[in-house]
Amino acid sequence: MLLSLFSRRLFWTLSLCLLLGCQQDQSDSAEESLGAIDGVSAALLPTVALDQRLPEMGTHEANPEAPVPPMCYTKTEGRHNPCYVCHQVYPRNPEQPRMNMLDDGGIQGSYLFSDEGLKNHWANLFVDRSEWLAQVSDEAIVAYTNQDNYQALPARLQKQGWEGFVPDLANFDLAAAAFDKQGFARDGSGWVAFNYKPLPSTFWPTNGNTDDVAIRLPEKFRQVDGKFSRAVYQLNLALAELSIKQLPRMRIHPSDEQLHGRDLDGDGQLRAETQWLAPQSHFFGDAKEIAVLNQQFPKGTEFIHSVRYVGVDTQGNISVPRRMKELRYMQKIRELTASDLDNRYRTERKEKVLGELPYYVDHGDKGRENGMGWLLTGFIEDYQGALRPQTREEMLFCMGCHAAIGTTIDQTFAFSRKVTGPEGWGYINLRGMTDAPSVNQHEGEILQYLKRVGGGSEFRENPEMLQRWYNSDGSVKEAAVQAADVYTLITPSRERALAMNKAYSHIVRHQSFVQGRDATWLPANNVHRQVEDSTPPLDAEYRFFGWDMRLDWSATQNSVAHTEQ
């Protein structure tokens, strides 16, 4: 009965839209080119007048410090420290030099903002969306999030004469179905999905997003004598993983050392089969002349990252839905020498101390250069829900985290958090995933985060996380957290998932991404509107927490051989 009512509602809404010619939206040329499915998308959400939408801007004058994300304005009460996830100092180990030399751990306990950055420009954090949520039915938001807005994007970009990256991963809207069990894209495009643990806590589904990431190495890394070789591609992917994680050796798919003519496992012999890979000086196959650089991906490496709504069924199972909030893309355009890295990180530290505004080279449609060898571009929903290229200021939102924070490895996040070895190749799956600790810690990473931060998000305003994992005195329910898998720990209830999806649709319909993308529906309390840089955000004893974004999966699998072995 409910489905029937909803179907009739959808039919009459669409019919009315067609009858009136969708006059409200004809003023937007981008919307005029949309197909029928986008018209249906629009019908599912309340109408917002054109003068109520935030106009797209060609400059970033509204927020010159857009690379400073909303969580940097968290009220810490002197003791709740989420800052360690981004800002770190690591020991200098000459035998295993870390590619990221920013050493910005001191930012955990201080503000190094420009004058512009002292004001919190993320106004969407303070918007009350309660009335909007009341206008959007559960059935409507479920239908909206389950619609595809990816498939039409490549053709639309080509029609517009787009000169940048055109998504070429077929059926990516179908999430896991686009890849085989080993993570290889079924369309033969060379994209490979991997299973990783989401970064605390921005990409936890309980805070509003699901996501997935795939990697693609250049063609020669996938070939032998010009012909595709899955075995060689897997070896090169494994070698990249070994380098990023700086492991002494790692388990791989069974490989023939005699066929490759290389001692893969480092035992001094060429065996017909080995399941271990030790560090190598060069890659395999047609890439055998290319040297492996410490904690750097080879030039030409690509990442595609979809940020999506929180999919949920009638039983409350959380999944990755078809609709994308954003589609992000990175390409490695140059490898950096040790002197390059030293110079660039020195410059970044100087700019932070002087409070200078960030600057990134703009390559137009091709994206923005982060100053560390990568080109970034992205797509985001337009008023109708179709994906469009992000504006200059919208792209700045991504640049800060992928340019100069101390925890990243080669300015990336997900790959270093991949489940190590063959088990980590395949589409992301949080069910059954253990709360693996950071490589320099002992207790589960999520358990540690809940203890350090005092809540299930940087803002400590996720009531479900507080209810599920905290005692009334504010302490963490350690035994319960330790007994749960990652899926149970960081996914929301059906009610919360629907509310977050509805709240984010308000941002989409108002096109107000430059004011923030957090899926909140009540004004934030634990967030500063203005910070005083002379007052440290944390008391001395909470001012620095150590952490490494790489994870120790050895407690749950036999994929990694540690040094003592």
pLDDT tens digits, one per residue of 245-268: 999 999 999 999 999 999 999 999
Return the higher-pLDDT residue of 329 and 94. 329
Return the higher-pLDDT residue of 398 and 318. 318
Residue 360 placed within a domain = yes
Mean local confidence (pLDDT), 384-396: 94
Residue 412 placed within a domain = yes
In the predicted model, what is the mean pLDDT of the chain?
A: 90
In the chain, the number of structural domains is: 1
Mean local confidence (pLDDT), 535-549: 94
Comparing CA positions, the residue from 534, 536, 537 lying closest to residue 526 is 537
Residue 400 placed within a domain = yes
Return the higher-pLDDT residue of 236 and 116. 236
Per-residue pLDDT band for 349 (boundaries 50, 70, 90) equals confident
Query: CB–CB of 466/455 below 8 Å?
Result: yes
Asked if the bond preceding 201 is cis, omega within 30° of 0, the reply is yes
Per-residue pLDDT band for 199 (boundaries 50, 70, 90) equals very high
Range of the domain at 392: 60-217+300-558
Pairing of strands 311-312, 318-319: antiparallel
Return the higher-pLDDT residue of 271 and 19. 271
Per-residue pLDDT band for 42 (boundaries 50, 70, 90) equals low
Strand partners, 184: 192
- List Cα–Cα distances, 213 to 209, 440, 449, in angstroms: 13, 25, 23
| Spatial separation of the C-alpha atoms in residues 219 and 18, rounded to whole Å | 46
Residue 402 placed within a domain = yes
% of the chain surpassing 70 pLDDT: 90
Residue 208 placed within a domain = yes
Least confident of 11-15, 104-108, 192-196, 518-522: 11-15
Residue 46 placed within a domain = no
Mean local confidence (pLDDT), 142-158: 97
- List Cα–Cα distances, 182 to 194, 269, 428, in angstroms: 8, 28, 11
Least confident of 12-16, 136-140, 150-154, 319-323: 12-16
| Spatial separation of the C-alpha atoms in residues 386 and 397, rounded to whole Å | 20
Residue 458 placed within a domain = yes
| Spatial separation of the C-alpha atoms in residues 366 and 79, rounded to whole Å | 42
Residue 294 placed within a domain = no
- pLDDT for res 465: 98
Mean local confidence (pLDDT), 436-447: 96
Per-residue pLDDT band for 40 (boundaries 50, 70, 90) equals low
Residue 32 has pLDDT above 70, yes or no: no
Residue 421 has pLDDT above 90, yes or no: yes
Least confident of 27-31, 96-100, 504-508: 27-31
Per-residue pLDDT band for 57 (boundaries 50, 70, 90) equals low
% of the chain surpassing 90 pLDDT: 80
Q: Which two tokens stand for residue 51?
A: 């003068």
Per-residue pLDDT band for 327 (boundaries 50, 70, 90) equals very high
